[in-house]
């Protein structure tokens, strides 16, 4: 009785792998299209401030990032700032920046619940949304925002309600 189940699994496996490969190729092409759209959305200046795991994001580190954001905002050539940030502490960092930074220029934090290597990665679409928001004159004067789950949330109201769901963040 084990043999038919084993045979059935072998027969189904190549079809599932083929579907997965097709999905991954389509996803890769979609990411490339999003990056091209990103280049059209704004003229970007990039800075690699830090790459560290969530437990190392301390209040002192957050304050340093806030100061770096303010330095960019002081530049009259800069219309807005987008910060990519891990979701473990994104709402805390964005809230601190919202409370302590005086500007009408958009500041948009961007997070992703799925990494680039995972199927259904939300990082590229959230980044595109963040850049489009920061580049939009209508975003001025709304405080610090968070782009996550393909939504824009006010940093002052954003709360992470789940550790893995794409809809992990809620507002209000």
Q: What is the DSSP string of 144-157?
A: EEEEETTEEEETTT
How high is the pLDDT of residue 127?
Answer: 86
pTM reported for the whole predicted model: 0.74
How high is the pLDDT of residue 102?
Answer: 94
Cα-based angle 141, 146, 151 (whole degrees, multiple of 5): 105
Q: Is the predicted pLDDT of residue 13 greater than 60, yes or no?
A: no
Predicted confidence band of residue 8 (pLDDT cuts 50, 70, 90):
very low
| Pick from 62-66, 82-86, 135-139, 156-160: least confident | 156-160
CB atoms within 10 A of CB 33: 12
Spatial CA neighbour of 91 closest among 166, 147, 139, 136: 147
Please tell me which of 17-21, 36-40, 75-79, 125-129 the model is most confident about, judged by mean pLDDT: 75-79
Q: 56 versus 31: which is more confidently predicted? A: 56
Size of the chain, expressed as the number of residues it contains: 172
Q: What is the DSSP string of 32-76?
A: HHHHHHHHHH------------GGG--HHHHHHHHHHHHHHHHST
How high is the pLDDT of residue 14?
Answer: 43
Predicted confidence band of residue 155 (pLDDT cuts 50, 70, 90):
confident
Helix 59-74 and helix 90-100: axis angle, to 10°? 50
């Amino acid at each position: 009785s084990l043999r038919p189940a084993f045979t059935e699994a072998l027969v189904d496996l190549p079809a599932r792998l083929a579907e997965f490969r097709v999905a991954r190729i389509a996803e890769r092409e979609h990411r490339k299209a999003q990056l091209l759209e990103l280049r059209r959305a704004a003229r970007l200046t990039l800075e690699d401030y830090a790459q560290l795991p969530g437990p190392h994001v301390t209040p002192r580190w957050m304050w340093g990032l806030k100061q770096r954001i303010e330095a960019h905002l002081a530049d009259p050539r800069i219309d807005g700032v987008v910060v990519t940030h891990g979701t473990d502490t994104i709402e805390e960092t964005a809230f601190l920046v919202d409370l302590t930074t005086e500007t009408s220029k958009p500041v948009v934090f961007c997070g992703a619940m799925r990494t680039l290597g995972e199927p259904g990665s939300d990082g590229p679409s959230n980044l595109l949304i963040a850049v489009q928001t920061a580049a939009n004159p209508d975003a001025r004067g709304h405080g610090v925002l968070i782009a996550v789950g393909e939504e824009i949330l006010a940093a002052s109201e954003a709360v992470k309600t789940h550790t893995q769901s794409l809809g992990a963040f809620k507002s209000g």
